Amino acid sequence: MSTDRTTEHDSGDFDVVVLGEVLVEVSTDAPFDDGVEARLGVSGDAFNVAAAAAAAGARVGLVAVLGEDELGDAVRRRVEELGIAPDLLRRRPGQQGVYFVHGDPDGEREFAYVRAHSVGSTLSPEDLDLPVLKRAGAVVASGITCALSESAEAAVHAAAEVAERFVLDPNHRPRLSSVDDARRRLRDLAPSAWLVTPSHPGETAELLDATSAAEGARSLVDLGARHVAVTCGADGVHLLEGGVEQWIPAIPAHRVVDQTGAGDAFLGSVAARSVLGDPLPEAVRWGVAAASLAVGGRGGTGVVPTPDQIRAHLQHEDPHSEGGRA
């Protein structure tokens, strides 16, 4: 565990700062029904991204609003447990956002959200410490963060404006926003983005009218993004870096338990490794390895691989050796 790291520094400087909402997950093995047993977890795309970035060795801050009740306390404990600095968390009265999921790795997943008007969606520009965001190596936000509320979208814009490297995951969720709104957000934010990470074929088709990953990447560069990493599920990543295209294949997963959160593990790892000095293609390779291991765990942080496990997986060695946070 790297919880010490969060107290070691007091300079207020972060390698990676992530903006979003942390959700409590209630997962069941059986379809939703009265009497079905459930398990609590802490999740949400921003939280998963922050966890992956911290595991990759970055000093990570999470800008999110938690309630003042026991659920907020539980979320904060898990944040610290994963080595994410709690300094940028905000607490105020309100209802913790929750979602229910019935996960079946081979079949359909059922989701039900209880997040409308949640305390997390009250995120606003007033919650930002702009000098801290300005000094951060990278600032990460997603389409989900923008879709929480108007004030959350304003916060993302304010953060993107001051960030040295603004990283945007379009993360389109039809239950949270319309395609038109998601497209507008992408057009608005792409010009500020150092890196955008859309998924193919879902987001490239729906948000960019692209029929290939390469076409999706080029249209984001046309919109003003500096670099684009199009994630193509179990196949790999199409990277467009400063006009140069390259294909970075996925590493076959030893075990697939839950593929949700693969994109989050990828994104957090890429943001962290690039801020820590890796050239982008190398950071993407690291992200591909981290995501391939992360799909072996349940939920976004069921398996958060350590750097040693990731290096081993990159060299096709046994990734399950030891030391991971399972």
Ligand X SMILES: Nc1ncnc2c1ncn2[C@@H]1O[C@H](COP(=O)(O)OP(=O)(O)O)[C@@H](O)[C@H]1O
Tell me: does residue 138 bind ligand X (CB under 6 A): no
What's the CA gap between 179 and 145, in Å, rounded? 15
Indicate the residue among 27 and 292 with the shorter CB distance to ligand X: 292
Do residues 139 and 155 lie in contact, with contact meaning Cβ atoms separated by under 8 Å? no
Exactly one of 67, 83, 263, 297 binds Mg ion (CB under 5 A); that residue is: 263
Task: Count the neighbouring beta carbons within 10 Å of the beta carbon of residue 252.
Answer: 10
Residue with the CB atom nearest ligand X in the bound state = 263
Task: Count the neighbouring beta carbons within 10 Å of the beta carbon of residue 243.
Answer: 8
Query: Which part of the chain contacts Mg ion (CB under 5 A), choosing from 205-213, 221-229, 263-271, 286-294?
Result: 263-271
Q: Which of residues 236-255 bind ligand X (CB under 6 A)?
A: 236-237, 250, 253
Exactly one of 54, 190, 225, 232 binds ligand X (CB under 6 A); that residue is: 232
Instruction: Go through the chain and tell me how many residues it has.
Output: 326
What's the CA gap between 271 and 138, in Å, rounded? 7
Q: What amino acid is encoded at 280 in this protein?
A: L
Exactly one of 256, 257, 276, 314 binds ligand X (CB under 6 A); that residue is: 256
Query: Which part of the chain contacts ligand X (CB under 6 A), choosing from 8-16, 149-157, 256-264, 300-308?
Result: 256-264
Q: 179-213 burial by CB neighbour count: b if 16+ within 10 A, else e? A: eeebbebbebbbebbbbbbbbbbebbbbbbebeeb
Tell me: does residue 236 bind Mg ion (CB under 5 A): no
Indicate the residue among 127 and 278 with the shorter CB distance to ligand X: 278
Do residues 190 and 223 lie in contact, with contact meaning Cβ atoms separated by under 8 Å? yes
Q: What amino acid is encoded at 260 in this protein?
A: T
CB 45 to Mg ion: min, Å: 9
Query: Which part of the chain contacts ligand X (CB under 6 A), choosing from 34-42, 119-127, 286-294, 313-321?
Result: 286-294
Selection from ligand X, Mg ion, none that 288 binds (CB < 5 to 8 A by kind) is ligand X
Exactly one of 98, 221, 223, 234 binds ligand X (CB under 6 A); that residue is: 234
Query: Which part of the chain contacts ligand X (CB under 6 A), choosing from 110-118, 158-166, 257-265, 299-307?
Result: 257-265
Tell me: does residue 292 bind ligand X (CB under 6 A): yes
Upper half-sphere CA count for residue 82 (Cβ side, 13 Å) = 30
- For 53, the token pair is 């970035």
Cβ-count burial of 214 within 10 angstroms (0-12 exposed, 13-18 middle, 19+ buried)? middle
Distances, alpha carbon 1 to alpha carbons 80, 302, 325, in Å: 10, 15, 8
What's the CA gap between 110 and 112, in Å, rounded? 7
Tell me: does residue 97 bind Mg ion (CB under 5 A): no
How many residues interact with Mg ion (rule CB under 5 A)? 2
Indicate the residue among 45 and 127 with the shorter CB distance to ligand X: 45
Tell me: does residue 27 bind ligand X (CB under 6 A): no
Selection from Mg ion, ligand X, none that 256 binds (CB < 5 to 8 A by kind) is ligand X
Tell me: does residue 204 bind Mg ion (CB under 5 A): no
Tell me: does residue 83 bind Mg ion (CB under 5 A): no
Helix (H, G, I), strand (E, B), or coil: what is residue 91? Answer: strand
Tell me: does residue 269 bind ligand X (CB under 6 A): no
Q: Which of residues 171-200 bind Mg ion (CB under 5 A)?
A: 199
What's the CA gap between 266 and 278, in Å, rounded? 15
Q: What amino acid is encoded at 194 in this protein?
A: W
First to last CA, the chain: 11
Which residues contact Mg ion (rule: CB under 5 A)?
Answer: 199, 263
Which residues contact ligand X (rule: CB under 6 A)?
Answer: 199, 231-234, 236-237, 250, 253, 256, 259, 262-263, 266, 288, 291-292, 295
